Amino acid sequence: MIKENIQDAINKQINAELYSAYLYLSMGAYFASINLKGFANWMYVQAQEEQEHAMKFFNYLQERGGRVKLETIQAPPLNWESPYNVFEDVYQHEKRVTAMINTLVDLAQSEKDHATNNFLQWFVSEQVEEESNADEILQRLKLVKDTKAGLFMLDQKLGQRPAK
Q: Is 164 helix (H, G, I), strand (E, B) or coil?
A: coil
Whole-angstrom distance, CA of residue 28 vs CA of residue 154: 15
Kindly give, in sequence order, each residue whose CB lies less than 8 Å from that of residue 131, ignoring residues fewer than 6 positions away. 91, 94, 95, 98
Whole-angstrom distance, CA of residue 2 vs CA of residue 123: 19
Q: Compute the average pLDDT of residues 69-87.
A: 97
pLDDT-derived band at 164 (thresholds 50, 70, 90) equals: confident
Give the model confidence (pLDDT) of 104-148 as tens digits: 999 999 999 999 999 999 999 999 999 999 999 999 999 998 799
Q: Amino acid identity of 25? A: L
Q: What is the CATH number of domain 4-158?
A: 1.20.1260.10
What is the pLDDT, as a whole number, of residue 146?
A: 77
In this predicted structure, the answer to whether residue 90 has a pLDDT above a threshold of 90 is yes
Whole-angstrom distance, CA of residue 52 vs CA of residue 70: 15
What is the pLDDT, as a whole number, of residue 163?
A: 85
pLDDT-derived band at 1 (thresholds 50, 70, 90) equals: confident
pLDDT-derived band at 45 (thresholds 50, 70, 90) equals: very high
Kindly give, in sequence order, each residue whose CB lies less than 8 Å from that of residue 59, ignoring residues fewer than 6 positions away. none
Whole-angstrom distance, CA of residue 6 vs CA of residue 16: 15
Decide: 110 and 52 in contact? Cβ < 8 Å: no
